[in-house]
A and B are shown apart, each in its own frame.
Chain A
């Protein structure tokens, strides 16, 4: 990694990363899967779920990026997984076991058909318009 030497550099880096990281995934039509993996998520079984997505998406020839993230806040519904299809808003699924993970791949990722267990976004962010 090269050092960032000034605020201008940092801003440039941010723009590069935005176009690089985010657009790269979109432009390649990749599916983005994020698994909530704080201590509590892992304790509820998030690790095998992440492995399942990584292995199965590759096996089923679906271009995808599977990453870990922190706590999504839905402790009651762990393990939780966020799936973002190209050009669509991300959808969070709760209570994800291997069976539901398989459904998510077969139905939601392959055909766009929603699967039971969606957790609606129930918060505003710092970028919300209101």
Chain B
């Protein structure tokens, strides 16, 4: 086996790298060579440890000791003390900020590991196309336990006591939803899985369906048993071919084992699951619109009540839950309500999967206990902002949510705190923005999306959002007037108050929350006709600084629209009427002579 007896793992993640972890690596290698240990000790650069706030991180294997905030000059100490003499370097161990206790070994890993994977327990672990691997990891045990050892009411009680709330966005208690559906008497009931993931930048549900499809099937069967339904439907968007492919394989395999179909596990319980494909309309994530779409009707929402639990698919009581909600159910049944309810905050239990995207170093799929702070998510797990830029805001809840700013970084994230802060949990997309993002443009981007996705049934959403979008476009073009800002707010409020469904009721949220948090940017656009972030093209002008320009003609040659004129060795000039603000000249200039005004 390995000729090396000691490995030094140095984090080479972007955040640690910018704190000179590469120099740490060089110094460690030099020290090891100087001590003549090159054939015994190996230094390896790794990806992110998810503990970026305390980087650079050095982990010594096989001792499992973690050193934090290691500076290049510490390399010598680590080699001399730890590698040669086998003594821990206390100074570099992590100290708990509260107790000041030294935590250096893997026994206290929860300090270093902010993530807890419940929903994602099998994702990236099992082969999703092989039911045996799922069964080997306790798959379908929860269904077996529910069917043979529990009454339907007991199953509902466990889910209720666990405190789980729907992960689709609204956060309605799952157990209560099941209870309502179970109490409505009918000859047929339905269990529906909402896999119509539509938020821009969200991919949690797709990852679960592609990585662990059986967990959803098992949970749907458990739900069917507890509410008295024998049929399940998964509404999945046709844009997710891989998810559909793996779901089909999973359903077939479950049938072959008799874990779906008639008389499951000899208990007399029948349950079957079929797939329904959505064409990708955002509004179909709303449960009434989703049900209409499954019935072959237009995907339009209708007024509640009646709730689907009373009259849903084909007029029968229907329970609709999101993919992530279902995926946690088998664990809740097996580990118990108490185990689950110990995780999270007082009113939001368990974990939440987030899709981290935007201007962040470690774009990825993460799962953290409710109550984790934005700072931990963005700066520890996410590795901070790309290219060392400054954090500006994070959009949660997609086009229905709002943005959170620096003042919200230390707020524990749960359903209620996010709403109090003017945003929402949504399905779990998190788009991180830095100083270069113009918040007016961000609001316009999300409104672009809702204008496209509005089903057109009710006027406030169809017409109001369009007008709202026009106002924002005008402001970004530099044609806004001060009255527009009041108009934005009033119109947003009316759309919120009078729209029929969740889409319209929440579509002005990005506008309202950016108005609340970034009024100064709106004012700069309207009053000074400036875009502070430099994103709105019509509000900027590329200008050549006569002092720096040497007349090399490089900019004129690269300009795609010939907007730059000037003789060789003379100061050049950009014609603002022709310039399309592509920025090619600024990039090309070696003399820093071109700037944005």
**Chain B positions 96 through 133: 1 when the CB is less than 8 Å from some CB of chain A, otherwise 0:** 00000000000011101111111011111111111011
List residues 1-52 of chain B with CB under 8 A from any CB of chain A. Answer: 1-4, 7, 9, 11-12, 42, 44-51
A125 and B127: CB pair below 8 A?
Answer: no
Q: Does A70 contact B (CB under 8 A)?
A: yes
List residues 508-560 of chain B with CB under 8 A from any CB of chain A. Answer: none
**Chain A positions 25 through 47: 1 when the CB is less than 8 Å from some CB of chain B, otherwise 0:** 00000000010101110100000
Known A4-B257, A117-B47; judge A10-B141 contact (CB<8 A): yes
- What CA separation (Å) do A119 and B11 show in the bound complex? 9
Instruction: Sort chain B's interface into a size bin.
Output: 35 or more
- What CA separation (Å) do A113 and B3 show in the bound complex? 7
**Chain A positions 110 through 129: 1 when the CB is less than 8 Å from some CB of chain B, otherwise 0:** 01111111111111111010
A70 and B210: CB pair below 8 A?
Answer: yes
Q: In the assembled complex, how far is the CB of residue B165 from the closest CB belonging to chain A, in whole angstroms?
A: 19
**Complex interface: chain A residues within 8 A of B361 (CB):** 76
B266 and A6: CB pair below 8 A?
Answer: yes
* A73 partner, pick from B135, B147, B365, beta carbons under 8 A: B365
Q: Does B186 contact A (CB under 8 A)?
A: no
Interface size on A, residues (CB 8 A): 54
Q: Does A62 contact B (CB under 8 A)?
A: no
**Complex interface: chain B residues within 8 A of A120 (CB):** 9, 11, 46-50, 59
Known A69-B211, A114-B7; judge A124-B135 contact (CB<8 A): no
Q: How many A-B residue pairs have CB under 8 A?
A: 192
- What CA separation (Å) do A73 and B138 show in the bound complex? 22
A67 and B127: CB pair below 8 A?
Answer: yes
A70 and B207: CB pair below 8 A?
Answer: yes
The CB with the most chain B CB atoms within 10 A, among A13, A73, A80, is that of A73
A38 and B266: CB pair below 8 A?
Answer: no
Q: Does B235 contact A (CB under 8 A)?
A: no
Q: Does A98 contact B (CB under 8 A)?
A: no
* A7 partner, pick from B123, B147, B381, beta carbons under 8 A: B147
- What CA separation (Å) do A128 and B108 show in the bound complex? 11
List residues 1-35 of chain A with CB under 8 A from any CB of chain B. Answer: 1, 3-7, 9-11, 13-14, 17-18, 21-22, 34
Q: In the assembled complex, how far is the CB of residue B412 from the closest CB belonging to chain A, in whole angstroms?
A: 18
Q: Does B212 contact A (CB under 8 A)?
A: yes
Closest-by-CB residue of A relative to B134 is: A17
Known A5-B266, A114-B42; judge A72-B136 contact (CB<8 A): no
A10 and B136: CB pair below 8 A?
Answer: no
The CB with the most chain A CB atoms within 10 A, among B112, B203, B207, is that of B207
A38 and B110: CB pair below 8 A?
Answer: no
**Chain B positions 189 through 202: 1 when the CB is less than 8 Å from some CB of chain A, otherwise 0:** 00000000000000
**Complex interface: chain B residues within 8 A of A38 (CB):** 206-207, 210-211, 242
B265 and A69: CB pair below 8 A?
Answer: no
Q: Does B335 contact A (CB under 8 A)?
A: yes
* B125 partner, pick from A1, A4, A69, beta carbons under 8 A: A69
B259 and A69: CB pair below 8 A?
Answer: no
A125 and B135: CB pair below 8 A?
Answer: no
B42 and A124: CB pair below 8 A?
Answer: no
A114 and B44: CB pair below 8 A?
Answer: yes
- What CA separation (Å) do A80 and B1 show in the bound complex? 24
**Complex interface: chain B residues within 8 A of A67 (CB):** 127, 130
Known A113-B42, A117-B47, A122-B113; judge A7-B145 contact (CB<8 A): yes
- What CA separation (Å) do A118 and B210 show in the bound complex? 24
- What CA separation (Å) do A71 and B361 show in the bound complex? 18
- What CA separation (Å) do A7 and B335 show in the bound complex? 17
**Complex interface: chain A residues within 8 A of B112 (CB):** 122
Q: In the assembled complex, how far is the CB of residue B24 from the closest CB belonging to chain A, in whole angstroms?
A: 14
A123 and B135: CB pair below 8 A?
Answer: no
B49 and A71: CB pair below 8 A?
Answer: no
**Complex interface: chain A residues within 8 A of B132 (CB):** 17, 21
Known A10-B141, A14-B138, A73-B366; judge A122-B127 contact (CB<8 A): no
- What CA separation (Å) do A114 and B43 show in the bound complex? 9
* A130 partner, pick from B110, B256, B257, beta carbons under 8 A: B110
B124 and A72: CB pair below 8 A?
Answer: yes
Which 7 pairs show the lowest CB-CB distances between chains A and B? A70-B211, A122-B50, A112-B2, A72-B124, A123-B115, A3-B258, A119-B47
> Can you list 24 contacts pairing A with B, beta carbon distance less than 8 Å?
A3-B256, A4-B257, A4-B265, A5-B258, A6-B148, A7-B148, A14-B138, A34-B124, A39-B206, A39-B241, A39-B243, A69-B123, A69-B128, A70-B124, A70-B211, A71-B120, A73-B364, A73-B367, A75-B363, A113-B2, A114-B42, A116-B12, A117-B46, A128-B116
**Given A39-B243, A120-B48, A122-B381, 13 other A-B residues pairs in contact with their CB atoms under 8 A:** A3-B256, A3-B258, A7-B145, A10-B265, A21-B133, A39-B241, A68-B127, A71-B120, A113-B3, A113-B42, A119-B48, A122-B50, A128-B116
Residues of B at the A interface (CB closer than 8 Å) are 1-4, 7, 9, 11-12, 42, 44-51, 59, 108-110, 112-118, 120-130, 132-133, 135-136, 138-141, 144-145, 147-149, 203, 206-207, 210-212, 240-243, 253, 256-259, 265-266, 331, 335, 361-367, 381
